[in-house]
A and B are shown apart, each in its own frame.
Chain A
Amino acid sequence: MKGNRRKNLLFSVFAVAVLWLAWVLAYFAVGNDYLLPSFSETMRTAGGLLAERTFWNSFLNTLLRTLLSFAVSLAAGVGFALLARLFASVRAFFAPVISLLRTVPTMAFILVLLLWTSPSFAPIIVTLLVLFPAVYAMALSAFDETYSEFGPLVLSYGVSKPRQALKMYLPLGASSLLSQSGSVLSMGLKITVSGEVLSSAYRSLGWLMQNAKMNIDMPRLLALTLVTVLAGFVLEGICALAAKGARRRLS
């Protein structure tokens, strides 16, 4: 077991090394700092970024927006998925709604959102509208799986729907939900940044990236991108740990 874990870790480190090598090779192949700056310059810029107060303000604003969107998506997604699992009519109602939310392009409603809300709030709604269908689908799939294992049993014992929800679906689905929520959260971070660029949200990672691009400061742009990617990894890691903890408690 320990040996396997060590081996997997080595492979992950190897993957990071391969990516770094690809960057270095691409830098020399392209030979144009405007298109791809060097790794060392980007790292220097990233170090400088971490010392800037504006960066931390912007990073925290973006992170808070992401977490808020994720929390609301999780609560609404799990809640409605539970209802859809328990009541066929709710499932039928949400089927076209979820399809619509999945396919409607962000640009179509960003202008309306900006009118009704504000540039700081619009990215939250944009992220919510993308994450909610994903969480709903994820949760419904987990609950359906739980039903396929235990459904006939609870039906034959006449367990009430509230009890099914609280004692079966939620605890048994928690592990699966938490293990997938990391990828949803990191996706949310990416969408929030895009939403911030579209809505020109002040003091946000999207705003910093847009400014870097406008100023043709490619090292800064890539440094910000790297920081965003790393933040995504950290969020995924936190969710993975939470999933592990949930599995331990249940077993």
Chain B
Amino acid sequence: MKKRIWNALLCFVLCLSAVCGASACKEERADGKFTVYAPDGAPALALAALIAETDRAADRGEEPQYEIHIVDSSLIVSYVTGNAPAADFCILPLNAASKQLGNGESYRMIGTVTNGNLYFLTTGEEALTPENFGTALLGKTVGVVQLSNVPGLTLQTVLKDYGLTYRISDNAEETAAEDEVVLRAVEAANVTPASGCDYYLCPEPAASTKVAGTAASANPFRFAGDLQQLYDSSAGYPQAVLVAKSGLAESEEGRKAITAVAERVREAEAFLKETEPETLLSLLDGKRTEGLAPSFNANNLTASVIANCSIRFVTAEEDRERVNGFLEKLLGVNAGAAALVSEKFFYVG
């Protein structure tokens, strides 16, 4: 009887060891493919060069090394969280990455991918520049798309940097006093010249769509300011980042994949300038979730929209200071908007 109990216990311990061993090796994949996820829009454009290379490999009859998925932006965090996150690599907003992955345990930041795509629109005459921003906006209302998210929070950090007093209002009839700026939340689809604000802060490609959509009207929109330039005239702000599973850094194969993906994302800036928009649309179409309406189409994917999306790769190591600075500023506006990240979060290759 005692012997049977010991045998059963030994079997249990051996099984447990096997399971632990298997889970430690979970970054080894049987099919050799790495999964890459990005939300549709500017972050997906950053994968254009990688998609093109993957498609070329498939055309040559080779087994593609990367399985790329362009998904609904509202779901992107679900691919890097949970017990078995689906993404080996993922592009997601920095503030979300800081909150979910900031301890560097499950994922680490490889680099910044996009550097801001928010633009002021107005039907008025006065454009907003770093020189006049501190005065031109006083007594004005600004309709902000995604006021409670990074766009609105980034605007608030910029207003603070320029020493401007601001107030958030949900009363469409309310006007701003002479010494303040009033911010109002608006849906991108509701940004029209008749919506009642002096300026609107809108992301690309919606900003260009609005300008084009009102061009023939009596009261057209025009571009009136670049929030990225107002935040930091040389570099913009770190908007979306590329992260990779921490386990990848522990194997030779994983480190090679990290280097390769980072290189393709770095090449995206030049690739997007050289490639026709129709080709880019076709590349993205092939990787988008079935049935998901595309952010870009033949009407709104132009060279100027691509340039306005500020796709430019900066490694985590090089961008550490800017990233930490941006997160601190966001926290200064809203303590729940982001989190400070640990040193481990930044991948040093």
| Residue A71 CB within 8 A of the other chain | no
Closest chain B CB from A59 CB (angstroms): 15
Q: Would you call A216 and B292 a contact (CB within 8 A)?
A: no
Closest chain A CB from B281 CB (angstroms): 13
Known A35-B194, A119-B291, A210-B189: A216·B75 in contact at CB below 8 Å = no
Q: Would you call B291 and A34 a contact (CB within 8 A)?
A: no
Closest chain A CB from B11 CB (angstroms): 37
Per a CB cutoff under 8 Å, which of A32, A120, A203 touches B194? A32
- State which residues 186-210 of A face B: CB under 8 Å: 199-204, 207, 210
Known A201-B293, A202-B293: A119·B194 in contact at CB below 8 Å = no
Per a CB cutoff under 8 Å, which of B78, B191, B292 touches A119? B292
Q: Would you call B209 and A114 a contact (CB within 8 A)?
A: no
Closest chain B CB from A211 CB (angstroms): 8
In the assembly, what is the distance between CA of A35 and CA of B212, in Å?
A: 18
Closest to B195 in A: A34
Q: Would you call B209 and A214 a contact (CB within 8 A)?
A: yes
Task: Count A interface residues, CB 8 Å.
Answer: 24
Known A118-B291, A201-B291, A202-B291: A213·B189 in contact at CB below 8 Å = yes
In the assembly, what is the distance between CA of A207 and CA of B189, in Å?
A: 12
Closest to B294 in A: A202
Q: Please, which residues of chain B bring their CB within 8 A of the CB of A35?
A: 194
Q: Would you call A111 and B189 a contact (CB within 8 A)?
A: no
Task: Count B interface residues, CB 8 Å.
Answer: 25
Q: Would you call B214 and A114 a contact (CB within 8 A)?
A: no
Q: Would you call A214 and B189 a contact (CB within 8 A)?
A: yes
From B289, B292, B299, residue with most partner A Cβ within 10 Å: B292
Closest chain A CB from B191 CB (angstroms): 8
Q: Would you call B74 and A114 a contact (CB within 8 A)?
A: yes
Per a CB cutoff under 8 Å, which of B72, B188, B214, B299 touches A200? B72
Contact pattern, B 80-120, Cβ under 8 Å of A = 1, otherwise 0 = 00000000000000000000000000000000000000000
Per a CB cutoff under 8 Å, which of A33, A200, A214, A217 touches B292? A200
Closest chain A CB from B102 CB (angstroms): 22
Known: A111-B74, A214-B188, A214-B206. 12 other contacts (CB 8 A): A111-B75, A114-B75, A118-B289, A118-B290, A119-B289, A120-B290, A121-B291, A202-B292, A203-B293, A204-B293, A216-B191, A216-B214
Give residues in A with beta carbon < 8 Å to B: 32-35, 111, 114-115, 118-121, 199-204, 207, 210, 213-217
Pairs of residues from A and B, 4 with the lowest C-beta to C-beta distance, nearest first: A120-B291, A213-B189, A34-B194, A216-B213
Q: Can you report 7 residue pairs joining A to B where beta carbons are below 8 Å apart?
A: A111-B74, A111-B75, A214-B206, A216-B210, A216-B213, A216-B214, A217-B213
